[in-house]
Amino acid sequence: GTDQAKQEAKVLRVGSAIDFAPFEFQDEGQKDYQGFDMDLIRAIAKEMGSEAEIQNIGFDGLIPALQAKNIDVIISGMTINDERAQKVNFSDPYYQSGLTMVVRSDEEAIKSFKDLKGHKVAVQIGTTSANMVKDMEGVTVTELNTPADCFMELKARGVDAVVNDRPVNDYYIKQTQAVGVKSLEDKLSAEDYGIAMAKDNADLQKKINDALKKLRENGEYDKIYQKWFGT
C-alpha cells in the first residue's frame, strides 16, 4: 500500500563493484564500504531525504541489475559513454578520470600505449580499459574480474601490463609503496564518471543531479574530494 511505498522510497538501492579503491573498497575487519563514491552517494541520498543501501555487485553485472530493477542507481567509477547511455541514464559528470598503465618496475620495453603491441595485457572485464585494449592490434588481452586480480597477474608475470583507471592505479601504487610495480605517465583518453539510473526513471535522474549540484555548492563535494584525493 501507500505506507509501504513511502517506506521504500526512503531507501536508495545502490549497486557498486566494491573493488576499486579509492572509489569503493572494504578494508579487512571493516564492516562498511568506504571510498569517494561511497561518501558521495551517502551524501546524495541524505540530501534527497533517503538512505543509501549499498549492494556489492560485479562490475559487468551492474547494468543488468539496474535494468532488472534490483537497484535504483549505480555508482562504481563508471565512465559515461555512448554504448552505456543507450541502456541507462547518466547523472551529470562527478569525477574526471582517464586510463593509464601499470608495469613491473624492471619493465624496459613498455613506456607508452603504443608499446603494448606484441605484449600481454590484463584488464577488468566489462570496462572501458577492456574495450580500448581489445581494439589494439597485436595485443593479447586477459580479462579478469577485478583490478586486484589484474595486478596479481602482473606480479606473477602472467601479463606485462595492466590498463586501468588512472586514480585507481595511482592509489594502488601509493598503497603498496610501489613494490615491484610502477605506473606510467602516458594517459589514454579522458573519461568522466557518472551515476547511472534506469532509462525510465528521469525523475530520479533529476533528483540525483539536483543533490549533486547542491553538494558542489555547499562545499560537501569538496570535503569528500579532499578526503580521498587531497595532498
* Nearer to ligand GLN (CB atom), residue 164 or residue 205: 164
> Taking the CB of residue 68, how many other CB atoms lie within 10 A of it?
10
Contact pattern from residue 3 through residue 42 relative to ligand GLN, giving x for each residue in contact according to CB under 6 A and a dash for the rest: --------------x--x----------------------
CB of residue 24 to ligand GLN, shortest distance in Å: 8
Query: In angstroms, what CA-CA distances link 39 with 23, 33, 34, 113, 172?
Result: 9, 9, 7, 33, 19
| Cell output for 49 | 531525504
Q: Which stretch binds ligand GLN (CB under 6 A): 71-79, 108-116, 181-189, 211-219?
A: 71-79
Task: Kindly state whether residue 94 participates in binding ligand GLN, applying the rule CB under 6 A.
Answer: no
Near ligand GLN by CB under 6 A: residue from 59, 90, 94, 151: 59
Q: Which stretch binds ligand GLN (CB under 6 A): 48-56, 74-82, 154-162, 220-228?
A: 74-82
**Distance between CA atoms of residues 77 and 85, nearest Å:** 15
Quick check: 193 and 79 in contact, CB under 8 A? yes
Quick check: 105 and 46 in contact, CB under 8 A? no
Task: Kindly state whether residue 78 participates in binding ligand GLN, applying the rule CB under 6 A.
Answer: yes
Q: Which stretch binds ligand GLN (CB under 6 A): 101-109, 121-129, 196-204, 208-216?
A: 121-129
Near ligand GLN by CB under 6 A: residue from 47, 160, 165, 220: 165
**Distance between CA atoms of residues 32 and 42, nearest Å:** 12
Which residues are 73's β-sheet partners? 14, 197
**Distance between CA atoms of residues 72 and 200, nearest Å:** 11
Task: Kindly state whether residue 127 participates in binding ligand GLN, applying the rule CB under 6 A.
Answer: yes
Task: Kindly state whether residue 77 participates in binding ligand GLN, applying the rule CB under 6 A.
Answer: yes
CB of residue 74 to ligand GLN, shortest distance in Å: 10
Nearest to 90 by CA among 213, 199, 210: 199
Near ligand GLN by CB under 6 A: residue from 47, 66, 76, 115: 76
SS in 3 state form for 12-41?
EEEEECCCECCCEECCCCCCCCECHHHHHH
Task: Kindly state whether residue 128 participates in binding ligand GLN, applying the rule CB under 6 A.
Answer: yes
Residues that bind ligand GLN (CB under 6 A): 17, 20, 59, 76-79, 124, 127-128, 165, 191
